[in-house]
Each structure stands twice: as structure tokens, then as C-alpha cells.
Amino acid sequence: MLGAADIARKALLPAIAASNNGRVVAMASRAPERAREMLAPYADARVCDSYEALLEQNDVDAVYIPLVNSLHKEWTLRAMAAGKHVLCEKPLAMNAPEAEEMASAAEAAGKLVMESFMYRFNPDTRAFVESLRDALHLQTSFGFRLSDSANYRMHAALGGGALLDVGCYAVSITRWILGEPVEVLARAHVEHGVDMTVSSLLTFPTGATASIWASFESPEEQDLTVVTRDIVHRREQPFTAGHPDDPYRLMVESFGESILRDRPLALPLSDSIANMRVLDRIRDAFSS
């Protein structure tokens, strides 16, 4: 792991340790004491002095990158150059051209890169999406209150903003259900260069529409409503809802199987690039 992020402590470290095909080997962090504390439950894992030192470890096959969004491309490229596969935290990149560069580098290096959209591996969410037929309209929202000015999400240069942080989920599940949009409209409330709330309306080739809302200015809110010709389907907490089979573990195992058995990724880079393109279109729409 490159970085001692909270998501590593809460989700990825336990998921790797519980997986049937992976183990926690090492963590590099600019806060080594924090890293040592986080690795305490994993007796065989070690702390490396730097990201570069971790990438030099011969017994590391793949790295998980939970760094700030602006560093995803750099360290994904450096990891692949060191011969490692990469599981990268969402969003994959700052924009679609960055994602395309990462995909080209992965193909040239013969390494696998997958975006860490764990919700795509949640059996309940998969069953919900697969049950839908003839969708006419989709409405999805993901918001929470963020007021800490020191948080990287509040800094545009680091890839902050509600669109990249939580809007990426809303766009992902919309595309999963409806495909690629032909028209994108959007508005945003922006403070100090950071989009605090984003609303977008997407139109699809079938005539279906989708309303997407992402925010740092609301109480905790996660909801997905899909109107089909026969019924209105609703799912609360579509992106973080729990399941007896931990979606993080399922994601880690799926990624590991692709590496070990030379199988296609469950979430290919082509999908991540397409997601970034829609995010770019939304940003362009509210910025113009």
C-alpha cells in the first residue's frame, strides 16, 4: 500500500488479509508511525521508508493506491514501471486523458490496473442492477457534509470537489444501467474553485434520462431510484451498503484472480475511461 489512508485501515487491509489469494506485505507512508500502528494486526507486514522503497520490494506483486486524486496517475505509472500491478482508488484519474495515458502504459507494460469501485462487487447491488428492464428515468444522489478546509477534497489542485469524490459513483452506476449519454447538462455551486454541489441531467440514446446529484453540503444521503415501464425501483445506500460477503474482499479476490490466472479484469480500464469522459463532460457543462 502506498499511503496510510483511512480507507486502507477500515477496508482494504482487512479485505486483503481475509482474501483467499492475497496477503498484506508492506506499506509506505510519510507518517511511518501511523503505518506501523495500522499494520500491527498483520504480523508479517512491514513498513517501508518511502513509496520508492516499497516499489523495489521483490515480494510485492501489486500495490493499492489510496493517495489524493492528483497523485493517482503518477504513482500508477511508477508502480507499473517497477513491475507491479495496480488497484487504484476511485476516481482513477483527474480526467479522461490521464486515464487514457494510464491505460496505454498498462498495455505497454503488460500490467493490470483496476479502479477500486468496490460497490460494483456488492452482490446486492449487482442483483438490483441486473433485475432492471426498460428503464425510463434514473435518479441518484450521494452527499455528505464536509467543512474541514484542510481536507484534500476541499482543494482543486489535489483533485477535490464533490463531482470526483462522490459524483464518480453516481455516474458509474448510471452508466452501468443506462449506457453512455448523448447529452449532458449540469450546474454547480463552486467555492474557491471547488465544486461543493453538482447537479446534472443526462440523456441517453433510448430516450431515457438520468438526474445526478453530488454534494459536500448536505446530511448523509445515498439513494438510487429507477423508474421502469412496470415499477419504481429504489435502493438506499447503493454505494456503501454492507453484505455478508464483504464487497472489498470480493473486489480484492477478483483482482487477484485476474493477475494469477491471466483473466480479464471484472472492471476494465475501458469502463473507467468512459466514466472519466462523462465526468469531464459534466465539469465542462457547469464550467462553461
Residue type, 77: L
- Please tell me whether residues 37 and 164 are part of one structural domain: no
What is the average per-residue pLDDT within 201-216? 98
Strand, helix or coil for residue 280: helix
In a domain, 261, yes or no: yes
Q: How far apart are CA 222 and CA 183, in angstroms?
A: 24
Return the C-alpha cell found at 45: 507486514
Residues 204, 72 within the same domain = no
221 and 260 part of one domain: no
Average pLDDT, the chain: 97
Q: Over range 101-122, report the average pLDDT.
A: 98
Instruction: Tell me the pLDDT tens digit for each residue of 217-258.
Output: 999 999 999 999 999 999 999 999 888 899 999 999 999 999
DSSP element (H, E) containing 142: strand 135-145
Q: Are residues 199 and 279 in the same domain?
A: yes
Q: What angle do CA 37, 41, 47 make, to 5 degrees?
A: 50
With beta carbons less than 8 A apart as the criterion, state whether 57 and 26 touch. Answer: yes
Q: Band of the pLDDT at 181, cuts 50, 70, 90?
A: very high
Cell triple for residue 189? 455551486
CATH code of the domain covering residue 181: 3.30.360.10
Predicted confidence band at 288 (pLDDT cuts at 50, 70, 90)? confident
Distance of alpha carbon 42 from alpha carbon 52, whole angstroms: 22
Q: What is the pLDDT of residues 136-151, one digit of tens each?
A: 999 999 999 999 999 9
Same domain for 93 and 124, yes or no, is no
Q: Is 90 a catalytic residue?
A: yes
| Count of the separate structural domains present in the chain | 2
CATH code of the domain in which 110 resides: 3.40.50.720
Q: Give residue 241's pLDDT.
A: 81
Residue 113, all three cell numbers: 490496473
Give the residue carrying C-alpha cell 501489486. 62
| Residue 1 belongs to some domain of the structure | no
Select which of 10, 73, 84, 90 is catalytic: 90
Within this chain, do residues 109 and 126 fall inside the same structural domain, yes or no?
Answer: no
- Contacts with 40 (C-beta within 8 Å, 6 or more apart), sequence order: none
Domain holding 131, by residue range, is 120-240+274-287
Verify that 129 and 231 share a domain, yes or no: yes
* Shared-domain flag, residues 282 and 157: yes
Return d(Cα 117, Cα 89) in angstroms, integer.
7
pLDDT given at position 66? 97
Query: Quick one: average pLDDT of 270-280?
Result: 98
